[in-house]
Amino acid sequence: MSQLNCKLPDLKVKKPNGLSSRLFFQVFSGPNAIAFAQLSSRSSNQHWHAANDSQHEGFCLPGVNYCLRIIEVNPDYRNQGVGSALLKEVIGFCRDEGVDSLYGQIRGDIHALRKWYQAEGFDLDAVDNIQLRLV
């Protein structure tokens, strides 16, 4: 485990060892897990609409893509930078492993999460899909 770079001290992040069909990241405060992110792989990005739909053309990428299934932070630790720091760890890990893109769908407070994902560099479409090209 390594130190999580955020406002709160003494948080550790546990990352996967290399790529697999499912990747799981956990953030700990002492022995307690306070946040996690789960990704799954697909050989192509089939989460997005058909490639001939001009609104979504740029979202269909060949190569190694991971779907960000969920990123969750314990309510007691929200709005303190934990989720953003965890997402940065996920992005850095994927870049280091040669992943082409991350994608997913926003679930939860759509308005707030759209702003958050955009601030983190993700592209969004009209139906709340997200994608971040890493290459």
Nearest Cα neighbor of 72 from 94, 120, 39, 101 is 39
Tokens of 51: 């490639």
Mean pLDDT of 123-133: 94
Task: Give pLDDT, residue 70.
Answer: 95
Asked if pLDDT for residue 2 goes beyond 70, the answer is: yes
Tell me the sheet residues that pair with 115: none
Nearest Cα neighbor of 102 from 18, 40, 34 is 40
Task: Give pLDDT, residue 31.
Answer: 96
Reported as a single tens digit per residue, the pLDDT across 64-113 is 899 999 999 999 999 999 999 999 999 999 999 999 999 999 998 999 99
Domain locations in the chain? 2-133
Task: Give pLDDT, residue 135.
Answer: 84
Reported as a single tens digit per residue, the pLDDT across 51-64 is 334 444 445 556 88
Check if CATH label 3.40.30.10 holds for domain 2-133: no
pTM, full prediction? 0.85
DSSP state of 55: T
